[in-house]
Structure 1
Amino acid sequence: MAHSCRNRLAALGLGLLTLPGSALAADRLTGDLKGTDGASHGTVEVTEAPKGVILRIAATGLAPGWHGVHFHEKGNCAPPAFKSAGGHVHAHDVAKPVHGLLNANADDAGDLPNIHVGPDGTATVELYSTLVSFKGDGGRPALLDADGASLVIHARPDDYQTQPIGGAGDRAACAVLAQ
């Protein structure tokens, strides 16, 4: 976009959403989505918003159907089965987080809605979460704490109630989130 056009939009009080790589781009975390086979299965991008984060997933080579998705507490996707990612992101003062977007007592900040993978093994989705922030803003758990965070896609859908992970099963893909 031309500089003069930006100035005209600013004069009108209109904000700009800029593209990745732009000097005006919002704070972002990105990650390479790896499958249990070690191959790349897409990308993950997380953008900080005033009251949460916007998550964009572009995945390939996954099993068709519904899959649970969660923010995990460690920025580590080492084998076996990505157990190095730890549990779901949660407040540090919670000893045993309660899982489930449909659970009235839930305090598991890593919870996200399920995604659907098409018959061709691909999924492109954009989600919004008010449960986390990059640095702990608004009292929400931080994705950028001392040991980082990751995003995990599970083999089955999350039922949003069953403890501890909604019955989502094995970890099928993982992305370390980094700036």
Structure 2
Amino acid sequence: MTRALRTLALTTALAATAFSAPALATDQHGAHAHTPSEAHATLIDRARNEIGQVHFQQGPTGVLITIEMDGLPESAVGWHGVHLHEIGDCSNEDFTSSGGHINPSGRSHGLLNPDGPDNADLPNIYVHENGALRAQLFTTQVSLNGETDAPALLDDNGSALVMHENQDDHMSQPIGGAGARHVCGVIEAAH
């Protein structure tokens, strides 16, 4: 083979590789190409007042959760447990319609528990004296649509984010002593 033919063959092979690489990259992510990578929830209190929003973003290894609330009563100042619940329903006055924690593997509750955490466990969040809350949390224990082989928040029966009356001690069963459910939001795909 002459030098000119070798150069032409190599150039043709490189060009074919360059044009097929984007197609390969697209195929690699095809399983989740049409699923939402973001979700949101409107937070309500027991009086059914809208008091905040939650934004969920799927990352490569987990979900980033951004929580914003305003107008919380003075009695709410302090730390509160927050968990992900297995049903996207906040219709009951006490928010028990959201079911229990997302926990298909049956692990014990608590970020500090040697037999935990369950998939619903998140760090505590803090309500300030002015009734406002701003927090960002990250968890590898769930996904939006199964992207990381973790339970999907946007499954057939949905999910909810629930804020409890007290802080979570991250050890006690079944919910770390966090108490009653005071705030709830149904998690929905962002369009």
After TM superposition, the score normalised by the length of structure 2 is: 0.76
Matched, 1:140 2:153: no
- 1:1-179 matched pairs, under 5 angstroms: 27-62=37-72, 63-91=76-104, 94=105, 96-179=106-189
Question: 2 CA distance for matches of 1:36 and 1:81?
Answer: 7
**1:28 Cα shift?**
1.0
User: 2:130 corresponds to which letter in structure 1?
Assistant: D
State the secondary structure of the residue aligned to 2:148: helix
State the secondary structure of the residue aligned to 2:155: coil
Question: 2 CA distance for matches of 1:138 and 1:38?
Answer: 34
Contact 2:111-2:117 within 8 A present in 1 as well? no
Contact 2:60-2:148 within 8 A present in 1 as well? no
Greater helix proportion: 2
**1:148 Cα shift?**
0.5
Contact 2:66-2:136 within 8 A present in 1 as well? yes
**1:154 Cα shift?**
0.5
**1:139 Cα shift?**
2.5
Superimposed CA distance per residue, residues 27-83 of structure 1 (whole angstroms, 9 cap, x where no aligned partner): 211111000110011101111111100000001233110000001101101122100
Q: Which consecutive aligned stretches of 4+ in structure 1 deviate over 3 angstroms post-superposition?
A: none
Report the RMSD for the aligned CA atoms in angstroms: 1.2
Contact 1:90-1:107 within 8 A present in 2 as well? no
Identity of aligned residues (%): 42
Larger radius of gyration: 2
Unpaired runs of at least 5, structure 2: 1-35
Question: 2 CA distance for matches of 1:138 and 1:47?
Answer: 13
Unpaired runs of at least 5, structure 1: 1-25
- Residues 97/78 of structure 1: CA separation in 2 closer, same or farther (3 Å cut): farther
